[in-house]
Structure 1
Amino acid sequence: MSVTASAAGARSEASQGDSVALAGFGYRQELHRSLGQYASFAAGFSFISVLTTVFQFFAFGFSFGGAAFFWTWPAVLAGQLLVAACFAELAARYPLSGAIYQWSTRLSTPSFGWFAGWIMVIGQMVVVAAAALALQVVLPAIWSGFQLVGTDSSPASASGAANAALLAVALLVVTTVVNLLDNRVMSVVNRVGVTAEIVGAVLIVVLLFTHADRGPGVTLHTGGQGGAIGALLVGSFTAAYVLIGFDSAGELSEETRSPRRTAPRTILLALAAAGVLGGLLLLGGVLAAPSLTDGRLSTEGLSYVLTSTLGEGVGRALLVDVVVAIAVATLAIQTSGSRMLFSMARDGSLPGARLLAKVSPRTGMPTATALTVGVAAAALCLLNLASPEAFLAIGTTCIAMLYLAYLMVTAPMLLRRLRGTYDTTRADTTHPDTTDESGKPPFSLGRWGLPVNALACLYGVAMTVNLAWPRATVYDPAGGHWYFQWFTILFLLATVGLGGLYRAVVARRGRRPDPLKSVSTPAADAASTAGSPVR
């Protein structure tokens, strides 16, 4: 009993210390700080959700690159690890909700940071929709009764797209309800789901490799639509879509105990674990597929491999675990998006900020933001009712938006390194904590910071351009829908334009569009050094 009481007292004391540290940034502790290291890891891993996205986009990658598209996975993973290393360093310096928004603002200017947050939160809403739509890839393969509309379950068909929208909206209702409950309930659901996903993914990998019909040398041949170059550029969309969201551990920093110490580790661990499991899933699927040339792998993906190779019973049982992974991924992404929205709203930087910034004292959850993200994602899912091509357009758009938002963090970070104004020995330039909660130096890239940061930026630019490039063969294969070919670029322009219009209206009314509470920017740092007050 005394040991338990002592441990509880230690946690309470640590939580108070975290709250004091948060107050140094100008914010009150409103969200309940109850997440430990595994819960923080689960937040990042469930956003990535290898089972959800590998099953959702395997067929797409294989159809363009053939078996050789496997090699795009380690290439994208290496690039994302560079980005994650930069994020881990920032998570130790700025343990705040709305990580991308907060980091970009403090590395550049409030205006630039606002647009980074705006692009990120819109992108997260699209990601929630895309994750929920993944149910269509799995549920009809488990039982035909889940195909409520028509008979063709392919997401690219009219009936498949409509059915995907209905299943997605139903899932979003469930995840929104969970997001309105206490964050401890959300954390339990997330941890149980992630554990089930990891166990299921490992089991699937083992079964696929033990049922392999060919050797790994087959991955040296493309056999897809675009040859070797197509495998690298278009086939990389699969890896690019899967390996995002590792920053979620940073998004939940204000709900995590000892965030300066925990978040950097879990950001890197979540990406590394997902990267290894996802790569093995891709390779196992290619090696165990009954055929690489009958066309089914390009349309049905891994669901076809499981049910055909492992038998209907075992295959469908494993697909149930994939459904759990999709549900938990949708929940985690919605949670991350709601925290981004909350972070911007409490700074008074969004329409309806007062309502969006409210946190329930009982649950510790920002209920209005959870509802907003859920409703917006459901509306996006309904686009599938209009046209099957919307499925791919939505998925690719959200990837490009998140990559752009990531670049809006790593780019100003690199500029500050080059100018010599980025000090990795301090937790924050206005709050000079030189240690994390354990008394050790905070996570730092040290002398590797500049090359890692530079490579992360180059990778981010290349991948953003690759994802947004208007390829007719990818976005409008049937022809006649030019707006789908240009959908990603048009959506990005519309997002930035809408954000600019809002800021212009706010400024015209005589209000500051960036009323942040505590910001460290290059200009603010210079003012602080000169002895001027920093807002």
Structure 2
Amino acid sequence: MTVTTDPTPPAPPSPGDAGDGSLAEFGYRQELRRRMGRYASFAAGFSFISVLTTVFQFFALGYSFGGPLFFWTWPAVLVGQLLVAACFAELAARLPIAGAIYQWASRLGSPAFGWYAGWIMVVGRVVVVAAAALALQVVLPAIWSGFQIVGGDPSPTTTSGAANAALLGLVLLALTTLLNVLDNRALSAVNTVGVTAEIVGVALIVTLLATHAERDPGITLHTGGEGGLIAALLVGSFTAAYVLIGFESASEMSEETVNPRRTAPRTTLSALTTSGLCGGLLLLGGLLAAPSLTDGRLASEGLSYVLTSTLGDGLGKVLLADVALAVCAATLAIQTSATRMLYSMARDGVLPQSARLAKVPRRTGMPGTAAVVVGVCAGLLLLLNLGSPQAFLAIGTTCIAMVYLAYAMVTGPMLIRRLKGQWPPADGGDRDELGKPLFSLGRWGLPVNALAVGYGLFMTVNLSWPRGEVYDPEGGHWYFQWFTVLFVGITVATGAVYRWYRSRMGAVSSTKDPGGQARTEPALDEAVRN
């Protein structure tokens, strides 16, 4: 049975779910509607990554610090993330449950450890939703000046641009929240259309930029940024680090995916690989086709400047419209992923108002209350952008750091289990829904896992490091310089206070062990230690 504090029993499976018992071994009933095929699963991960959204949003940051050399941080981060994705693919094959990070960390580590991983990921995902919605400001005013409703300067780093970004983001969040409350067929349809349009758009942009190249690829060996080589590799890596996250969204949607043990591992890896290739070509195309590398516009306006200047206003704006569509699809996918995480934790009864957050109406088969909570919280974060342009960068880097930390909270205990010989589990369940072997790293598991942990911890520190020249370039705002550290600290402290309060009130969190048996939290901790 589903572990939840909601007195209302879970809705029975819909006709399309009849006979599916993939959740029974974990103690859950099928409440979400299992309709997503392989392409829709791929779309969930690809939409979250959304190279058009994030490359256009963060290209200027990477270039301003590292110059053309920052291009090489892309393949470096891609390799690191592929290590993490490979570990996640093994987990997705064996634990196909919504709320993947929370569920995996709970089973690999302990319920308390998993709770913190899930809590950090939920908060981080909400921040990612807000940051993605802000990306509309990078493209819409460049398409039509009428989209600049507040003030006259559209740059996200100005006061008017920051305020307008918040306004556009709020409108977008209202639409994505509505879709996340409706039936998941509409959700999948919008995601599929958005991903298809994005792939076509990337192909067109890369092709057109290649035909307008002003220089050869050797330019990527030059720094030209503000801080030389070190800044190019560390701060310049923020662009790739922000783009190449969210590939595990295919796993987050496992309970809505047909044959998840076979589908989710493959779509997790294919979404990241495809995004890595597309994003790398976009970066290279922008550097080769930019009218100038020294006039300052590439460091302030990014790829929007390259498209409109190189391809002309007409064609450039058409392609920017495709980028705007990708931004919308990305915001939708990220909010959906955050909603599934919130729902997964709530049905275990480990969050405030769990009964309401875990409710899935029979009519829609969607956790609508959780979707509304994510949308409202992300909207409140957008209001920070009204106060100061620096909030744009602070929000963006904070969400990346939190996601990387949550990733490490999965790969870390996974590595410990490998070293103890407890992973992968030798329980005989080594076949997927089609009777074929589950995805496995085999003898490469230990080195891949170890490198994934080291990479994740390094990037978490790199992203969180309080660099004044990055987070507070104008000076006088110490809280922006330390924003990421403070936000992560406050998130963990808030979680600790809540868990202390639950303990003080006599609440006992119920969860599951790797075998799927419901246990109280202390009992499961003891079982894992033994």
User: Are 2:444 and 1:451 equivalent residues in the alignment?
Assistant: no
Q: Residue in 1 aligned with 2:374?
A: 373
1:517 and 1:411, CA in 2 relative to 1: closer, same or farther beyond 3 A? closer
| C-alpha distance in 2 between matches for 1:32 and 1:210 | 46
Say whether the 8 Å CA contact 2:107–2:513 is kept in structure 1: no
Q: Residue in 2 aligned with 1:396?
A: 397
Q: Can you list the C-alpha shifts for 1:256-292, whole angstroms capped at 9, x where unaligned?
A: 0000000000000000000000000000000000000
| C-alpha distance in 2 between matches for 1:324 and 1:405 | 29
| C-alpha distance in 1 between matches for 2:490 and 2:357 | 23
Say whether the 8 Å CA contact 2:47–2:195 is kept in structure 1: yes
User: Are 2:113 and 1:104 equivalent residues in the alignment?
Assistant: no
| C-alpha distance in 1 between matches for 2:492 and 2:515 | 24
Say whether the 8 Å CA contact 1:424–1:446 is kept in structure 2: no
Q: Residue in 2 aligned with 1:82?
A: 83
- Within 5 A, what are the aligned runs for 1:59-74? 59-74=60-75
Unpaired segments of 5 or more residues in structure 1?
A: 1-11, 427-431
For residue 16 of structure 1, report the CA deviation from its aligned partner: 3.8
| C-alpha distance in 2 between matches for 1:75 and 1:520 | 37
1:193 and 1:367, CA in 2 relative to 1: closer, same or farther beyond 3 A? same
Q: Residue in 2 aligned with 1:434?
A: 430
Count how many residue pairs are aligned between Structure 1 and Structure 2: 511
- Code of the aligned partner of 2:415: L
| C-alpha distance in 2 between matches for 1:533 and 1:471 | 40
For residue 434 of structure 1, report the CA deviation from its aligned partner: 2.1
Q: Residue in 1 aligned with 2:315?
A: 314
- Code of the aligned partner of 2:454: L
User: Are 2:218 and 1:217 equivalent residues in the alignment?
Assistant: yes
Q: Can you list the C-alpha shifts for 1:437-482, whole angstroms capped at 9, x where unaligned?
A: 0101100000000000000001001100000000000000000000
- Code of the aligned partner of 2:57: Q
Q: Can you list the C-alpha shifts for 1:74-128, whole angstroms capped at 9, x where unaligned?
A: 0000000000000000000100000000000000000000000000000000000
| C-alpha distance in 1 between matches for 2:196 and 2:251 | 20
| C-alpha distance in 2 between matches for 1:484 and 1:471 | 10
Say whether the 8 Å CA contact 1:108–1:521 is kept in structure 2: no
Unpaired segments of 5 or more residues in structure 2?
A: 1-13
Q: Can you list the C-alpha shifts for 1:106-161, whole angstroms capped at 9, x where unaligned?
A: 00000000000000000000000000000000000001111011111110100000
| C-alpha distance in 2 between matches for 1:434 and 1:442 | 5
Q: Residue in 1 aligned with 2:6?
A: none
For residue 425 of structure 1, report the CA deviation from its aligned partner: 5.0
Say whether the 8 Å CA contact 2:136–2:168 is kept in structure 1: yes
- Code of the aligned partner of 1:173: A
- Code of the aligned partner of 1:396: T
Kindly, what percent of the aligned residue pairs are identical? 69
Q: Residue in 2 aligned with 1:260?
A: 261
- Within 5 A, what are the aligned runs for 1:476-491? 476-491=472-487
| 1:470 counterpart (461, 466, 470) | 466
| C-alpha distance in 2 between matches for 1:125 and 1:148 | 25
User: Are 2:510 and 1:515 equivalent residues in the alignment?
Assistant: yes
- Code of the aligned partner of 2:285: G
- Code of the aligned partner of 1:459: Y
Q: Residue in 1 aligned with 2:9?
A: none
Q: Can you list the C-alpha shifts for 1:402-431, whole angstroms capped at 9, x where unaligned?
A: 0000000000000000111113554xxxxx
| C-alpha distance in 1 between matches for 2:81 and 2:65 | 22
| C-alpha distance in 2 between matches for 1:14 and 1:328 | 26
| C-alpha distance in 2 between matches for 1:520 and 1:61 | 45
Q: Residue in 2 aligned with 1:429?
A: none
Say whether the 8 Å CA contact 1:414–1:454 is kept in structure 2: yes
Runs in 1 of length 4+ with deviation above 2 angstroms? 12-17, 423-426, 517-522
| C-alpha distance in 1 between matches for 2:210 and 2:232 | 23
| C-alpha distance in 1 between matches for 2:76 and 2:312 | 33
Say whether the 8 Å CA contact 2:17–2:33 is kept in structure 1: no
Q: Residue in 1 aligned with 2:11?
A: none
Q: Residue in 2 aligned with 1:3?
A: none
Q: Residue in 2 aligned with 1:30?
A: 31
Q: Can you list the C-alpha shifts for 1:232-254, whole angstroms capped at 9, x where unaligned?
A: 00000000000000000000000
Say whether the 8 Å CA contact 1:117–1:344 is kept in structure 2: yes
Q: Residue in 1 aligned with 2:162?
A: 161
Say whether the 8 Å CA contact 2:16–2:35 is kept in structure 1: no
| 2:496 counterpart (496, 500, 506) | 500
- Code of the aligned partner of 1:458: G
| C-alpha distance in 2 between matches for 1:145 and 1:396 | 29
Q: Residue in 2 aligned with 1:175?
A: 176
Task: Give the CA RMSD over aligned residues.
Answer: 1.9
Give the alignment's TM-score, normalised by structure 2: 0.94
| C-alpha distance in 1 between matches for 2:212 and 2:501 | 61
| C-alpha distance in 2 between matches for 1:444 and 1:519 | 18
| C-alpha distance in 2 between matches for 1:424 and 1:155 | 49
Say whether the 8 Å CA contact 2:59–2:302 is kept in structure 1: yes
Partner of 1:20, secondary structure, is: coil
| C-alpha distance in 2 between matches for 1:268 and 1:494 | 33
